[in-house]
Amino acid sequence: MLALALVLVAGLLRVRDGRQGGARPAPTPAAPRTLVQGRALAIADGDSFDLRTSDRRRVSVRLFGIDAPEGSQACGRESRDALKREIRGRPLELRVVETDQYGRLVGDLYRDGAWINEALVSQGWAWHYTRYSDHPALARAEREARAARRGLWRDPHPTP
């Protein structure tokens, strides 16, 4: 009965995304405070990568509350390289917030206690993704990066 209720609720949670591509289902909540540990494998761009978990599984990860340029956009390669510098070859801890419609784990990433999501915004290599997050630290990090014209903010009108 509970499974049927969850299926019905998931169906009701479909939202319309304002981006090109139309309707997308709302992300599905993961177990509260799920913690995944591992190391980065392939890094796709400045906000997503594959993680080899401590139990040897390969999972796709999307960083929560931020949005980085795609590889073909201005600063896309620099954003990806910034994420590489932060995480490549180091033990990581992902605090999962949800699982998105593509099956990726979406969460807050930490390396040695440092919050990587915030670091990328602070360095100017990602935007605070206000559609999904109202975290004051991310908002402050973006304001400061804009004011200092760091990273993608060197362009007066970077395209998210």
The active-site residue out of 70, 78, 98, 144 is: 70
CA atoms within 13 A on the CB side of 81: 6
The active-site residue out of 39, 52, 95, 104 is: 104
Q: Which residues contact 52 (CB under 8 A, 6 or more apart)?
A: 38, 39, 40, 41, 58
Q: Is 52 one of the annotated active-site residues of the chain?
A: no
Reading the block at residue 66, the tokens are: 């931020």
Q: Is 104 one of the annotated active-site residues of the chain?
A: yes
Q: Is 154 one of the annotated active-site residues of the chain?
A: no
Strand spans (E) along 84-144: 92-99, 105-111, 114-115, 127-128
Query: Annotated catalytic sites, by residue?
Result: 62, 70, 104
